[in-house]
Structure 1
Amino acid sequence: MLNLSNKISLSRIFFIPPLVFCIMQVQHNNHYRYACLLIMIMIGLSDMLDGYFARRRNEITNLGRYLDPVADKLVLMVSCIILSSDQVWPEPRFPNWIMTVIVSRDLVLMFGTVALLIITGRMDCQPTMLGKAATAFQIIAIISVIMGNLIPLTVLVAIWWLVVILTFTSGLLYIYRGVKQL
C-alpha cells in the first residue's frame, strides 16, 4: 500500500506526460510556458513535500527510498533533453553539453545503483546535501529556461554553471560512496 509521501513521489512521474505535452506546444502557443512553469513548480514542491511527510509521519519506506530519486531523475532527464532540443523548444535552450552532464550523471548513478544491488545484494540510496543542492538547482535551471527571456542571459549562464559544478561534484561524491560499498 502506498503512503502519502510515496503517492506524492509517484505523482511526479505522472506529471511527466503533461509537462512534455506543454513543452512541445510552446513553439505553437507561448501561453503553454505558463502551464510548463506551473507543472515544474508543482514538481519542485512535491519533491520537498514527500520527504517532509515521510519524516513527519514516520512513514519512511524502502519503496520511497527508491521511488523518490527515480522520479527526480526521470523528470530532470526528460526536461533537460526536451529543453535542449532546437526542434521542440524555442530560445533560450539548455546547451547540449549541460544536458549531457546532467543526463550522464543520472544514468551513471542509476546503473551504478543497480550494479551495487547485483554485486552486494543491497543499495544505499541516501541522498547527500550536495546531491539535494544539485537537484534543487537543476529544477531552478529548468524553470529559468521555461521562463524564457524574462531571465537575463548572464543570470541564466551563471545558473547553468552552478548546475554543472554541483551536478558533476555530487556525481563524483556518489561514485566514491558507491565504490566504498564494494
Structure 2
Amino acid sequence: MKIMTPANWITLFRIFSVPLILVFLDQYEKSDEINQPDERLRAGSFIIFLVAAFSDCLDGYLARNCGQKSKLGAILDPIADKLLLFVLLFSLATINVSKIAKIPLWLPFLIASRDILLLFGILFFKAIHKEVEIQPHWTGKVATFGSFCLIGFSLLGTVFLSNISVYLCALFVIASTLVYFFRGLKYLIYQESRSISSTPKKGNFV
C-alpha cells in the first residue's frame, strides 16, 4: 500500500494552505491600516479557503471510494481539519479590518475546549486499558460544517450571516460535547457492569 496516496497529497495541501491564507490576511490588514485595503488579498484568502474546504470533501471521497485509506491519512486528515478551522477562526477573531466580519474570540476557545475534553477522554480510557473508538455524531458534523460556513461569511464581510453562524456553531459544538460525554459515560458503565458480572461469586466453583 502506498504511503502517499492522492488523498494524502490533498490533505497536505489543506495543511499548507493555512499559512498561505494567514499571509494574505496579514498583508490585507496592513493595507487596511494605511487606508488602502487591497481587496485582491481578501479575495485571494477566500478563494484559497474555499479550495481548502472543498479538498476536505475530495480527500474523504477518494479515501472511502477509491481504496486510498491509509494510516497516514487517518492521522493527517483530522490534523488538517482542526488546523484549518481553529487557526482561521482565531485569526478572524483577532483581525482588525472593517470589511471582515469579526468572530467573537470565545468561539475558537469553545471549540478547542471540546477537542481537549475529547482528547482527555481518549487518554482516560487508554489509561484504564479500555479501547474505545469514537464514532462521529451528526451534531459534530454540523458544527464542523457551520465553522466552515462561518469562516466564509466572515471573509466575505456578511455580518448578519456571520452572527447567525456563530451561535448555531456554538450550539452544535456544545451539543456534540454532551453527546460524546454521555456516550463515554454509558460505555464506562457498560464495561464496569460486564466486569462485575464476569467476576465469580464467593462460594462458586466451576
TM-score tier after normalising by the smaller chain length: 0.7 to 0.9
Within 5 Å, which residues of 2 pair with 1:22-101? 22-27=24-29, 28=31, 29-85=38-94, 88-91=95-98, 92-101=101-110
Counterpart of 2:115 (choices 106, 120, 125) is 106
Change (3 A) 1:114 1:3: farther
- The answer for the alignment partner of 1:6 in structure 2 is 8
Unaligned runs of 5+ in 1: none
Unaligned runs of 5+ in 2: 32-37, 189-206
Number of residue pairs aligned between Structure 1 and Structure 2: 177
The letter of the residue matching 1:90 is: V
**Alpha-carbon RMSD:** 2.2
Q: CA deviation at 1:174?
A: 2.6
- The answer for the alignment partner of 2:164 in structure 1 is 158
Counterparts of 2:63 and 2:11, CA distance in 1: 11
Answer with 102-111 or 66-75: which moved more: 102-111
Counterparts of 2:45 and 2:123, CA distance in 1: 32
Counterparts of 1:108 and 1:46, CA distance in 2: 27
Counterparts of 2:72 and 2:134, CA distance in 1: 11
Of the two, which has the highest radius of gyration? 2
Q: CA deviation at 1:161?
A: 1.1
Change (3 A) 1:127 1:11: farther
Q: CA deviation at 1:51?
A: 1.1
TM-score for the superposition, normalised by structure 1: 0.84
Calculate percent identity across the aligned residue pairs. 32
The letter of the residue matching 1:109 is: L
- Give the conservation status (yes or no) of the 8 Å contact 1:73–1:106: no
Answer with 108-117 or 58-67: which moved more: 108-117
Deviations 1:111-158 (A, max 9, x none): 44455445447452442222222111101101111111xx2x332221
Counterparts of 2:74 and 2:186, CA distance in 1: 20
TM-score for the superposition, normalised by structure 2: 0.75
- Give the conservation status (yes or no) of the 8 Å contact 1:12–1:43: yes
Answer with 132-141 or 21-30: which moved more: 21-30
Answer with 135-144 or 95-104: which moved more: 95-104
- Give the conservation status (yes or no) of the 8 Å contact 2:10–2:59: yes
Counterparts of 1:69 and 1:174, CA distance in 2: 17
